[in-house]
Amino acid sequence: MSEPARPYTLVAELTYRCPLRCVYCSNPLDYGRHRDELDTETWLRVLGEAEDLGVVQLNLTGGEPLVRDDLETIIAEARRLDLYTNLITSGIPLRRERLARFRELGLDNVQISIQDTDAAGSDRIAGRRSFDRKLAIAGWVKELGFPLTLNTVLHRENLDHVADIIALAEQLGADRLELANTQYLGWALPNRAALLPTQAQLTRAREVAAEARRRLRGKMEVLFVTPDYYTDLPKACMDGWGRRFIVLSPAGLVLPCHAAHTLPGLHFDSVRERPLREIWADSAGFNAFRGEGWMPEPCRSCDRRETDFGGCRCQAFHLTGNAAATDPTCHLSPDHGLIETARLTAAAAPPAPFIYRTARRAG
Amino acid sequence: MISTESRPRLAAKARLRFDRKSSRYMLLYPERGLVLNPTAADVLQRCDGLRTVGSIVEELAQQYGHEVPAVEREVMTFLQTMTDRGLVLAEV
């Protein structure tokens, strides 16, 4: 295989620990097994190795990155390396002094999630009282001069509130609003019946977002990410496997996406054992789905194969049992019926009870 | 709208970074980045909230040895795109 493309973004999952219990958490179901977190020294080394490989963007995420008490040291090193650093956080637990310190150390952007437009709806998704606190913290972010990204994960319980979410983002002075529909992996998959919206909900919300995008042009960037289940064409998941992104799991596994280590039969290397450059170029897991050699029909001869790179491998595995299958969200997939059935169920079914994220689940 | 009187500056979320790999400047912002051609980099490096668009155009016309009207058209079009994308703020 030729020299792999250059990675631009390192997604640093600093921990799987989190005080919230969101029902669509993208961490693996068995995250409770992965307790052995990388130490500060290793993170600092990896940031340098990543920058040397070409990485310019750093997302500090988790779990909840704030639970690590070495976040200050990591931010300072990222700034020294001139990485654009984005803290992706629930805002819990955070004191104003600590946020001010992050600003001094050179953190570039803060992304805060809110789950809905009122405390009852938001706290119900998060499994913990947190909404009012999040609004206060979003206020601090702006007062301290940071750019603010507000992120709301959308699903059947809040899709009809998109206009109110946009109004709240404007009120908070957000520079960027991510309206990201739930993707049905991690904890969202067992909660799919409770979360999957109807086509009508989605169409309305998309129109509201498009109108806001026009109105707020130049002031607030409004992104609307459609769930794969309603696109009929797969997404270029992670811009293609092992092309632009490196995800580093809390324990040090180097992954092409945050769920790749839930795929059976793939070997991923740890930064504890090999330098990042070698892993990016040679790791069996990274090379498994690079390029087109792995593709089955109808992908292999499809005009879109360089557009979507075959879609999402995790979705393929978790729905069909085969990670190398065509992404079932594609209307050409022999397994597309699984998606159509899920949509019909969403349209017909009464809401199912939630399964909250917990470390006690074995997977 | 951008005018020659505007005093453009980078939005809070945007930051310039020199990229050793491509020997180009990049404009980085949350989750994204643009690789800039040399002219775009020259323009954005001068977007300090103090200079007017008019003075940026004059500086660059002189630096490149080009006519002012041609440089002005190019700079205005570029800055309008950047303000529409929220990456540059233009106050008069």
Cross-chain CB nearest to B33 (options A56, A145, A218)? A56
pLDDT digits (tens, 9 = 90+) for A159-196: 999 999 999 999 999 999 999 999 999 999 999 999 99
Confidence (pLDDT) at A1: 46
Say if strands A57-61 and A9-13 run parallel, antiparallel, or are unpaired.
Answer: parallel
pLDDT tier at A2, thresholds 50, 70, 90: low
The pTM of the whole model exceeds 0.90: yes
Q: Which of B26, B28, B84 is the closest to A218 by Cβ?
A: B84
Reported confidence tier of residue B3, pLDDT bands at 50, 70, 90: very high
Q: Which positions ≥6 away from A180 have C-beta within 8 Å?
A: A151, A152, A153, A154, A223, A225
Q: How many CB pairs under 8 A join A and B?
A: 53
Which chain B residues are Cβ-neighbours of A175 within 8 angstroms? Answer: 11-13, 86
- CA-nearest residue to A88 within chain B is B30
C-alpha A13/C-alpha A248 separation (Å) is 6
Percentage of residues of chain A with pLDDT beyond 70: 98
pLDDT tens digits for range A240-267: 999 999 999 999 999 999 999 999 999 9
CA–CA gap between residue A107 and residue A48 (Å, rounded): 17
Tens-place pLDDT, residues A202-232:
999 999 999 999 999 999 999 999 999 999 9
A contact set with B (CB within 8 A): 6, 8-9, 54, 56-57, 59, 82, 84, 86, 108-109, 111, 145-147, 149, 175-176, 217-221
- Whether the predicted pLDDT of B57 surpasses 70: yes
Closest approach of B39 to chain A, Cα-based (Å): 21
B60's tokens: 């660059």
Residue of B nearest to A145 (CA): B12
pLDDT for A32: 80
The tens digit of pLDDT for each residue in A93-137 reads 999 999 999 999 999 999 999 999 999 999 999 999 999 999 999
**Distance (Å) from the alpha carbon of B86 to chain A's nearest alpha carbon:** 4
Tokens 């289940």 — which residue?
A: A229
Give A115→chain B minimum CA distance, Å.
Answer: 20
A321: left (phi over 0), alpha (psi -120 to 50) or beta: left
Taking an 8 Å cut-off on Cβ atoms, the answer to whether B13 and A8 are in contact is no
Question: What does the mean pLDDT of chain A come to?
Answer: 94
Residue B25's closest CA among B2, B12, B42? B42
The per-residue pLDDT for A353 is 87
